[in-house]
Amino acid sequence: MSFMAESEAGGRPAETFESSLQELEKTVAELEAGDLSLERSIELFERGMTLSEDCRKRLEEAETRVEMLVRKDGKTVAEPFRLEKPEK
């Protein structure tokens, strides 16, 4: 399953996680710069929320695809990737 956010420029879909993230960063920067009308601020906020959700979904999708190969009983098996928590 592939998630695509529409790009602000020309309404084209943002094809990669990186392009969605880059557009999100530009949107945040424009909001943080201030000096926008209320309507423009709301438009940018809505766009940012859409991009944020797109990035989150893409990361979740990638996480489910990441696998570690582990040897068990002499066989190589695929196992879901899990981050190990550091010991305290």
Could you read off the pLDDT of 4-52 as tens digits, one per residue?
445 444 445 568 999 999 999 999 999 999 999 999 999 999 999 999 9
Q: Per the domain annotation, does 47 fall within a domain?
A: yes
Q: Is the pTM of this model over 0.75?
A: no
Q: Per the domain annotation, does 88 fall within a domain?
A: no
Q: Per the domain annotation, does 21 fall within a domain?
A: yes
Could you tell me if 67 and 17 are in contact, meaning their C-beta atoms sit under 8 angstroms apart?
no
State the CATH number of the domain containing residue 74.
1.10.287
Q: Per the domain annotation, does 57 fall within a domain?
A: yes
- Which position has the higher pLDDT, 3 or 19? 19
Range of the domain at 50: 5-80
Q: Per the domain annotation, does 28 fall within a domain?
A: yes
Q: How many domains in the chain?
A: 1
Q: Per the domain annotation, does 75 fall within a domain?
A: yes
